[in-house]
Structure 1
């Protein structure tokens, strides 16, 4: 098997996606071509209905493309796998289990041949990575929404995925909690070094977190309109970037794209 190219760690080649509905065939995506580097953080942004989450679900293997091919680390994606972990907007924690037990459950499924002590060590390490060691014995109803989402991220990272897929992970949180978790995610990604693909509606979030921002055209038959390189140095400090000319230029470029697409949609 050909060795994975670090510059083409995740590949989408000529991907089309259609859904069969009662009203006929709906063409969601058309001609998606994207190469994602190993260790890169990509954000996908666009108006509602542009197929952002569909792209994420295709990479996750939860959907199969109508046409085209998708690869991860040199292997064609044929379905879900532990090398690709998903963090949803809803944390999806089991309410009767503690934070530790929710993470342990995922670890146990992925690393079946390891001893209990090894599994517990992996679980503790993941919980520590997201800063929740003090709450590991609490159940979901005993912690805040932001902490629940961190448990969801810990559960995903505990699987040691090659690719972390985030579907609007902070969309349901208040502005302050969202900002704090964005800062935490930057630290977590720096430590883990894994590749990340995030769907978002938040322009500031996309520019702050990403190495590149993939901007989608409106659906149906949505495709990639532009890809914006974010060459801001890391680590990134939110308050310092607020006055940074390059940050504000990049933010304006994303807003311009979205505004122009909105104008075309309304015309």
Structure 2
């Protein structure tokens, strides 16, 4: 498949005097429409790598490009959803999304067209009924759906997810994973997601990138999830392909990259 997002020998070092080498020589190609998860122990640089793709950091070495254009900073071609929904509490759900839409589309769309775009994004995550509610009036799962809608409303070429369901209970997380699959299929988004959850990675991903422990973290292994779509959660867990994917991830995380605790 044609490369859509490309990381070429990317390294990241923080600090002036006391240097911390977070990532070392990361090379990765992501195809258009592919769903790739990054997994590894805490401190292995997963979020740092995601922030580099988002343009929030500049790599110390190497380069990152999207559709052949080098990424030099944040841009509307990349939508980010954080673990913390980061909604402004004094704005309604609708207005939180409109804030980003206005920044991206103000020169091309009038106010009514921008509001329609917001409504479409809310409908996509089944939250049209909550458009005029404030963040404190909705549940944690609904806040995360607003965060996803906000990212999708700017029509990004790449959707970047930093543990978007990590703070939610198991049932809400499973429900939102199902919703995310439907959204990605409908929008044909290219997705890079950070997760700690082995089952989430298998359920959602086409490939899972396993990171070695930091500092100077590298890509240790890449798992191709050869499980046909659409995937059904309960049926999938009984298949040999799922069992093998889970075995390989757990073997890497808890044997090859075991964390020694004192």
Given the two structures, how large is their TM-score scaled by the length of structure 1? 0.95
**Residue 118 of structure 1: CA displacement?**
0.8
CA–CA distance in 1 between the matches of 2:39 and 2:221? 10
Q: Distance in 1 between matches of 2:91 and 2:79?
A: 20
Partner of 2:127: 132
Query: Does 2:44 correspond to 1:50?
Result: yes
For residue 220 of structure 2, the aligned residue among 215, 218, 225 is 225
What is the match of residue 204 of structure 1? 199
Number of residue pairs matched? 261
SS in 2 for 1:9: strand
Matched-pair contact (CA < 8 Å) for 1:50–1:219: yes
Which residue is equivalent to 1:108? 102
Asked if 1:72 is matched to 2:66, the reply is yes
Equivalences for residues 32-43 of structure 1 within 5 A: 32-43=26-37
Measured in 2, the distance between the counterparts of 1:19 and 1:251 equals 33
**Deviation readout 1:145-174 (Å, 9 max, x if unpaired):** 000000000000000000000000000001
CA displacement, residues 93-134 of structure 1 (integer Å, 9 cap, x when unaligned): 011111111111111111012111110110010000001011
For 1:84 and 1:90, the matched residues in 2 are separated by 18
Tell me the CA shift for residue 194 of structure 1. Answer: 1.1
Cα RMSD over matched residues?
1.3
2:28 is the alignment partner of 1:16: no
Structure 1: 5+ residue runs without aligned partners? Answer: 1-5
The answer to whether residue 135 in structure 2 is matched with residue 121 in structure 1 is no
User: 169, 174, 190: which one pairs with 1:195?
Assistant: 190
Between the aligned partners of 2:48 and 2:259, the Cα distance in structure 1 is 22
Q: Is the 8 A contact 1:218 1:265 kept in 2?
A: no
- Secondary structure at the aligned position of 2:52 is classed as helix
Distance 1:239 1:40 in 2: 23
5+ residue gaps, structure 2, are none
1:97 aligns with 2:94: no
- CA-CA distance at 1:262 after TM superposition: 3.6
Q: TM-score, normalised by structure 2?
A: 0.97
Cα drift, residue 252 of structure 1: 1.1
Q: Does the Cα contact within 8 Å between 2:212 and 2:257 map onto a contact in 1?
A: no
Which whole-Å CA distance do the structure 2 matches of 1:32 and 1:7 have between them?
19
> Which position in structure 2 is the counterpart of 1:157?
152
Q: Which residue of 2 aligns with 1:87?
A: 81
